[in-house]
Amino acid sequence: MKRIISAIVHDRPGVLNRVSSMFRRRGFNIASLAVGHSEKEGFSRMTIVVDNVEGMQADQITTQLDNVVEVVEAADITDHPTVIRETALIKVAATPSTRGQVIEILDLFSGIEVANVSTEWIIIEMTGTTEQVEAILALLEPHGIIELMRTGLIALTSN
């Protein structure tokens, strides 16, 4: 089962390495990891998605994270009311003759911006749920996805 772990950490060099090393040492696979500044100056928030983890193992992960000196707080938020999003940058082939078809696909979704355009491609910026990102990728695939970059999940509890 996939678990979503949220952690507040000190914003210092080496913290990411220590946190990811803790997962490696315990044999947990990190499916995605997103880190950014938090609402508290000097602290960052991490959203870590871990694959193939059961409930007791999730408790072990948060306990072990709490033992990392730079971690202020860690919690498994999988079963909490949560707002979860990811951002994707998608470079899709779009010649002048196919550009209209690509734009029609983009109009089906909210949270999409055209970030850059050339005569041969369009770079799309999208923020949404994983399901929404997967859906647009499936629709754009026949046009030719040239490059793709996804952030991984970011999440905040909504209670």
* Residue finishing a domain among 76, 93, 110: 76
Q: Give the tens place of pLDDT for each residue, 105-131.
A: 999 988 899 999 999 999 999 999 999
Tell which phi-psi region holds residue 111, choosing left (phi > 0), alpha (psi between -120 and 50) or beta.
Answer: left
User: Which tokens in the block code for residue 5?
Assistant: 């772990």
Residue 91 near residue 121 (C-beta atoms within 8 A): yes
Listed in sequence order, the residues at least 6 apart from 137 whose beta carbon sits closer than 8 Å to its beta carbon are 88, 90, 145, 148
Sign of the Cα torsion 6, 9, 15, 21 reads: negative
Radius of gyration of the chain (CA): 18
- Are 71 and 106 in the same domain? no
CATH number at residue 60: 3.30.70.260
CATH number at residue 132: 3.30.70.1150
> Domain residues for 26?
3-76
Task: With cut-offs at 50, 70 and 90, classify the pLDDT of residue 82.
Answer: very high
**pTM of the complete model:** 0.86
- Are 11 and 66 in the same domain? yes
Tell me how many domains the chain contains: 2
Q: Give the tens place of pLDDT for each residue, 10-59.
A: 999 999 999 999 999 888 899 999 999 999 999 999 999 998 887 678 78
* Residue finishing a domain among 16, 43, 76: 76
CB neighbourhood size of 128 (10 A)? 19
Rounded to an integer, what distance in angstroms lies between the CA atom of residue 94 and that of residue 75?
A: 43
Rounded to an integer, what distance in angstroms lies between the CA atom of residue 97 and that of residue 94?
A: 8
